[in-house]
Amino acid sequence: MSCYVCDKHQTGDGVVAGDELMVLAHVLPDAPGNDGAPVYLGHLVVEPRRHVPGLADLTPDEAAALGRWAARAARALHAEHVYSSIVGHQVDHLHLHLVPRYPGTPREFWWPRLDEWPAAPLGGNAEVTQLVGEIRARLDVPGGGR
Ligand SMILES: [Zn+2]
């Protein structure tokens, strides 16, 4: 059985960092349902390494790790606010979305319309790869490199 998230963990595509329980990754233009379109830069996902469908399937250690990674990633995003959601309509492998709202985003484009703002930062694989490197560097700095 093929799983987009499990496959991505194997290839490392879009992966920012991880530990034995969780992977932090950036969404990619080839994500299911995205059809190759540019992505909102900074849209991260925290995913358990184990293929589990929902929050209720996490072990206590995995649940704690999910929260730690979400907080750590949120600090490294350097946003004025980080939205967080679990939807799961496209992929049956738990993934917690973290979506930054950058300073200056007009109120009418706040979540869930962030990527509709004409000045929203969108990018393809090259921009994602560069940002992944920047976020990875901020993760290693206490406080997220601010
Ligand atoms: Zn999976």
pLDDT at residue 144, rounded to an integer: 79
Q: Is the preceding omega at residue 32 within 30 degrees of 0, hence cis?
A: no
Question: Ligand 1 centroid to 145 CA: how many Å?
Answer: 31
- The pTM score is 0.95
Question: Ligand 1 centroid to 6 CA: how many Å?
Answer: 4
Question: Ligand 1 centroid to 51 CA: how many Å?
Answer: 4
Fold of 4-144: HIT family, subunit A (3.30.428)
pLDDT at residue 145, rounded to an integer: 75
* Cβ neighbours of residue 38 closer than 8 Å, sequence gap 6 or more: 29, 122, 123, 124
pLDDT at residue 48, rounded to an integer: 98
Question: Ligand 1 centroid to 41 CA: how many Å?
Answer: 23
Question: Ligand 1 centroid to 103 CA: how many Å?
Answer: 34
pLDDT digits (tens, 9 = 90+) for 35-74: 899 999 999 999 999 999 999 999 999 999 999 999 999 9
For range 83-89, the mean pLDDT: 95
CA 22 to CA 19: how far, in whole Å?
6
Confidence band, pLDDT 50/70/90 cuts, at residue 21: very high
pLDDT digits (tens, 9 = 90+) for 135-144: 999 998 877 7
Q: Return mean pLDDT, the chain.
A: 95
Question: Ligand 1 centroid to 43 CA: how many Å?
Answer: 19
Which contiguous run of DSSP H or E holds residue 8? Answer: helix 4-11
pLDDT at residue 143, rounded to an integer: 75
